[in-house]
Amino acid sequence: MPGNAAVNAAGNAGNATGGPATTGLPLGPVLSLCEPVPDLPEGVLGWTTTRAAGSFGLSSNEPVAEVMVRWDALQADFQALGIERLASAHQVHGAEVASHGGGWRGWLRLRGVDGHVTTTPGTALAVTVADCTPVAVAHPGGAVAVLHAGWRGTAAGILRVGLAELAQRGFAAADCRVHLGPSICGRCYEVGPEVLEAVTGRPAAGKGCLDVRATLLEQARALGVRAITVDEGCTRCHQARYFSHRGGDAGRLLGLVALRSA
């Protein structure tokens, strides 16, 4: 492990209580059931939803009206915190990252996007996951990103793209904090040789287990990130707490990050 990268394990698998960033905040019915992202800068908030908060996926057999009630409740929770914008997308396991400014309110849903960045206070960003890794990025100067990193997005370099988007705005990777949220662990994720080769860049003779979070950790270090936290939760091992596609769930979790209004 390089000496310039501080890597901490965030043991949230059985704990949804807030850390310093969320302690004392008036959390509503959805956010109170979420796991907070640890060690975020002042003015930045982040969570991963849990099974208890319900599914936010719009492509399952669950009645859309029931899912929309949860999205509405989430927006209300954010509004109570002074956050009036919520950006999300229909994801395609790619590496495109969208940037969001001000001038709008409500819930935005793009298509063909797997990551979001903003420097505009009062804005929240969301990705949907159910084994893929929700990656939260925060800079103390007032910039955040959230990325949907499955094996395809990881192989395509979505973390590099997200950090580059921030760097173009003057927020260096070395000063960012990266959190790799709950996702399927290496022991639970057996894949074919073509997937192993695509993600690791090394030849594979057959099937094997892939730890996508470990790959993302290596990528973050190589890109110069010095403050990294890794959640210990596995969506498959801890399926009572999370939704897992490999475990047969149609439900989807959210990875959330937000900039509070000044």
Question: How do residues 229-262 score in pLDDT, each as one tens digit?
Answer: 999 999 999 999 999 999 999 999 999 999 998 7
Domain positions in the chain? 6-259
CATH of domain 6-259: 3.60.140.10
pLDDT above 90: percentage of residues in the chain: 88
Burial of residue 206, with CB atoms counted within 10 A of its CB: 0-12 exposed, 13-18 middle, 19 or more buried: exposed
Provide the pLDDT for residue 152.
98
Measuring CA to CA, which residue among 43, 50, 17, 9 is closest to residue 179?
Answer: 9
More confidently predicted of 20 and 128: 128
Measuring CA to CA, which residue among 197, 198, 181 is closest to residue 234?
Answer: 181
Provide the pLDDT for residue 9.
66
CB 118 within 8 A of CB 259: yes
